[in-house]
Amino acid sequence: MAIKREEFKCRGNSWKLSSGMTQLQRIAIAPSQIQQQQITLTSEQQHYLYRVLRLQQGDRFIAMDGIGKWWLAQLAGSKAKILQTLTVETELPIAVTLIIALPKGNAFDEVVRCCTELGVSCIFPIVSARTLVNPSPQKLERWRRIAKEAAEQSERAVVPVILEPVSFSSSMSFASNQKYICEARGHYPHLLSCLQDKEKLPNHQGQKTMAIALGPEGGWTDKEIESAIHAGFQPVSLGKRILRAVTAPIVALSLVAATCEV
Ligand code: SAM
């Protein structure tokens, strides 16, 4: 799969992705796989590139390290030669962490997938008073794989971090410039009106950060809302309707993305 020169735009020492390159396959690699302008491919990656995608020796693809870097690479046996560094500008200007009480069944898979597409930086699964599931280590691996695939698909530069599940109380010490807790009932300001007050946005260690907490199917207990307020979280509404535990994080993140990107 050859790429024409005009498909890139030069920007400093790196090249910016243009629409012609969107046909190229993207795969996430670990930064440790790169040595002297070459990527040593794992057997799983070789299988995926040669057998699943049916690429051949000399074909090009995009390698992403999941922490902000993309490269144009060319297949050469069990390795890939790095041809160019690419510039990707698909990240939100604010690092958003979603603190989410685990929903029932496999619903969290959908939350991870959609929120990765929408630009989340970190997902922090928690077990709250009304959480009905007990997460297994295999689930964490699965969510991390889903985040990686969704980041590749949505052309993210960064693969979101999925933290290990902790209790509600442990998550309350999470440090961030702005902290919101979404509550389906009560008279709280809409998240959108809080976000529009952009001037309030301070920097946390040089970066704009935000944490948004979302409850499980049964909602938060009064005690949890009280401790969140005590920990610096502002309770907010996402509108007059009760959203499902899967829908609420997607709505919250869409509001953040729209506010800071438009
Ligand atoms: N069973 C709860 C009740 O009846 O109040 C509703 C829980 S809702 C299915 C799951 C979570 O989504 C809530 O804890 C909250 O964090 C969020 N949520 C849903 N709708 C919301 C809304 N309109 N405003 C703010 N948060 C909402």
Of 14-23, 89-98, 105-114, the range with the lowest mean pLDDT is 14-23
CB 15 within 8 A of CB 87: yes
219 CB under 6 A from ligand 1? yes
Three-state DSSP state, 92: coil
Whole-structure pTM value: 0.83
220 CB under 6 A from ligand 1? yes
Angle of CA points 18, 82, 12, to nearest 5° = 50
Domain of 157: which CATH number?
3.40.1280.10
Rounded CA-CA distance 187/169 in Å is 24
Do both 105 and 231 map to the same domain? yes
Do both 114 and 196 map to the same domain? yes
CA of 241 to the centre of ligand 1 (A): 9
Q: How confident is the model at residue 200 (pLDDT cuts 50, 70, 90)?
A: low
Contacts made by residues 70-73, CB under 8 angstroms, sequence distance 24+: 70/17, 70/26, 70/157, 71/39, 72/3, 72/15, 72/21, 72/24, 73/39
Do both 168 and 57 map to the same domain? no
Do both 79 and 121 map to the same domain? no
According to the model, what pLDDT value does residue 25 have?
Answer: 87
According to the model, what pLDDT value does residue 262 have?
Answer: 79
Residue nearest to atom 21 of ligand 1 (CA): 184
Name the one residue in this structure whose structure tokens are 């919250």: 252
The pLDDT tens digits of the residues spanning 105-160 come to 899 999 999 999 999 999 999 999 999 888 888 999 999 999 999 998 998 999 99
* Pocket mutation for ligand 1, best pick of 180, 238, 253 (most atoms within 8 Å of C-beta): 238
Three-state DSSP state, 114: helix
Average pLDDT of 229-243?
A: 97
Do both 228 and 170 map to the same domain? yes
Do both 26 and 120 map to the same domain? no
More confident: 188 or 2: 188
237 CB under 6 A from ligand 1? yes
Domain assignment of residue 225, given as a range: 95-261
Measuring CA to CA, which residue among 60, 62, 28, 32 is closest to residue 45?
Answer: 28
Position 15 pLDDT exceeds 60 = no
244 CB under 6 A from ligand 1? yes
Rounded CA-CA distance 151/158 in Å is 7
The pLDDT tens digits of the residues spanning 248-257 come to 999 999 999 9
Number of domains the chain contains: 2
According to the model, what pLDDT value does residue 17 have?
Answer: 56
218 CB under 6 A from ligand 1? yes
User: Of 87, 114, 139, which residue sits at a domain end?
Assistant: 87
Rounded CA-CA distance 16/85 in Å is 9
181 CB under 6 A from ligand 1? no
Rounded CA-CA distance 184/35 in Å is 51
CA–CA distances in Å: residue 220 to residues 135, 163, 184, 214, 236: 19, 21, 9, 8, 13
Domain of 77: which CATH number?
2.40.240.20
CA of 247 to the centre of ligand 1 (A): 9
Do both 76 and 56 map to the same domain? yes
Q: How confident is the model at residue 57 (pLDDT cuts 50, 70, 90)?
A: very high
User: Of 87, 119, 141, which residue sits at a domain end?
Assistant: 87
